Amino acid sequence: MEVIIKPTAGDASLIAAKLIARQIRHKPTSVLGLATGNTPLDTYRHLVKMHQGEGLDFSRVTTFNLDEYVGLAPDHPASYHSFMWEYLFKHVNIKPLQVNIPNGLAKNIPEHCREYEDKIRACGGIDIQLLGIGGDGHIGFNEPCSSLSSRTRIKTLTRRTIQDNSTFFDSAEQVPLHVLTMGIGTIMDSRSCVLLAFGTRKAEIVAKMVEGPISAMVPASALQWHEKTTVLIDEEASGKLTRKDYYQWVYQNKPAWQTAEIES
């Protein structure tokens, strides 16, 4: 796990966008794993700007989103389908057939989840997975106690996540109880992960994820076991890390070629 602390969420988001853009330029047929929530919004804005201003080409890119609410039609304003089209897909030249988001209206949910997994494998696996983190340590919608080797499946949200996500709905009562989410095992199979977390309200869970034990109680802590995860956070979210000085020291003293791989 590499921890990069930037002064602001904007600085960290720019780096996340550069890492994704670099991946696409290096391999135009890249498979991206994408996330929703407030956290990745700036990263998507940067990617849109890179497409419009620098010609970043999404035409051969395939995407897989982490999760979706069960029972919401794709055109529901709070669905993750709507979110992704609103903030990223409609602004870039991605082919709609290459966009994959779990279908919250699937009739046969176990079969749909198996097919989602099969499709990720058939596309060669995810090259870079973008992640946020829930206040309780969930990634995707893998709530505490999720199996660390879980695959795409249905999950039940915690009361806390329902409350946290209610800002995208008119009220907490409207947040669906059930969701479809890639599993932790699915996420762990990605060749690289970029996890973003911003603000003081994420500081405690970031410290548990990075410095606590690997535990199903903090699903994001599984990433300690991942071969190539970059945790990109702002100053505020770094407030509870005990080895903050060390992470900054490592970053400041990187060989120039390594810094270039991240910042250029």
Q: At closest approach, how far in Å is the CB of 168 from ligand GLP?
A: 8
38 or 163, CB closer to ligand GLP?
Answer: 38
Residue 33's CB is within 10 A of a number of other CB atoms, namely: 27
Rounded CA Rg of the chain:
17
Three-state SS for 32?
strand
User: How far lies 225's CA from each of 54, 112, 118, 139, 149, in Å?
Assistant: 35, 28, 23, 15, 12
87 or 141, CB closer to ligand GLP?
Answer: 141
Q: From the candidates 42, 68, 127, 143, give the one annotated as an active-site residue.
A: 143
Q: At closest approach, how far in Å is the CB of 126 from ligand GLP?
A: 15
Quote helix, strand, coil % in the chain, to nearest 5.
45, 15, 40
Q: From the candidates 11, 57, 136, 211, give the one annotated as an active-site residue.
A: 136
56 or 233, CB closer to ligand GLP?
Answer: 233
Q: From the candidates 67, 68, 235, 236, give the one annotated as an active-site residue.
A: 67
Q: Which helix (H) or strand (E) holds 144?
A: none
Closest CA to 199 of 66, 25, 13, 26: 13
Phi/psi at 21 (nearest 5 deg)?
Answer: -65, -40
Q: Is 189 a catalytic residue?
A: no
Closest CA to 165 of 192, 138, 134: 134
39 or 150, CB closer to ligand GLP?
Answer: 39
Q: Is 143 a catalytic residue?
A: yes
| CA pair distance 136, 195, nearest whole angstrom | 15
In sign, the C-alpha dihedral spanning 13, 14, 17, 22 is negative
Q: At closest approach, how far in Å is the CB of 132 from ligand GLP?
A: 3
- Give residue 141's identity as a one-letter amino acid code: F
Which residues contact ligand GLP (rule: CB under 6 A)?
A: 35-39, 66-67, 132-134, 140-141, 161, 165
Q: From the candidates 42, 138, 189, 235, give the one annotated as an active-site residue.
A: 138
134 or 183, CB closer to ligand GLP?
Answer: 134
Q: At closest approach, how far in Å is the CB of 197 from ligand GLP?
A: 8
Three-state SS for 180?
strand
Q: At closest approach, how far in Å is the CB of 231 from ligand GLP?
A: 13
User: Where in the sequence numbering do the catalytic residues fall?
Assistant: 67, 136, 138, 143
